[in-house]
Amino acid sequence: MKRHSKQRDLIMEALGKLDHPTAAEIHAYILRQYPKISLGTVYRNLSELAAAGVILRLPSGDGSDRFDCNADEHFHVICTGCGRIFDILSHLPKDAIESLDKTAREHTGVKITGRDISFKGICPDCASR
């Protein structure tokens, strides 16, 4: 059990240091301190942490998931040029979110319990190239 806790601590440390990393990026970061950790172990722990709501799994559109240690509800902007993910930490207007929830509920009959909203665009670095 102690080993499992150490692995999770290292994963959470990597998530805090890296900006919306992939599992492979987290694995590469951890290998420097814990050279025997496998990529499969990293994936398993990330899946468990995401399922428990401790972290967020973010599909990036390029086939690789990215991860966010901030599991509080917030929104993201994904650069379609480089795949970088930016946090939108300020809250969208409450009435706008309520309107989206209401529209989704009216069109589907589903009680809305949460949302994953991401915007897509070109980041300043990609736009300047």
Residue 7 counted as domain residue: yes
User: In this structure, are residues 69 and 17 in contact, taking their beta carbons and an 8 Å threshold?
Assistant: no
Tally the domains of the chain: 1
pLDDT digits (tens, 9 = 90+) for 38-73: 999 999 999 999 999 999 999 876 778 999 999 988
Has residue 102 been placed in a domain? no
Residue 126 lies in a domain: no
Q: For residue 38, tell me if it sits in a domain.
A: yes
CA distances from 23 to 41, 53, 65, 105 (A): 10, 17, 8, 34
Nearest to 53 by CA among 71, 70, 36, 40: 71
Question: Residue 89 above 80 pLDDT?
Answer: no
Domain-embedded: residue 81: no
Q: Is the pLDDT of residue 2 over 60?
A: no
In a domain, 27, yes or no: yes
Residue with the two structure tokens 């059990």:
1
**114 falls within a domain:** no
Least confidently predicted of 20-29, 57-66, 101-110: 57-66
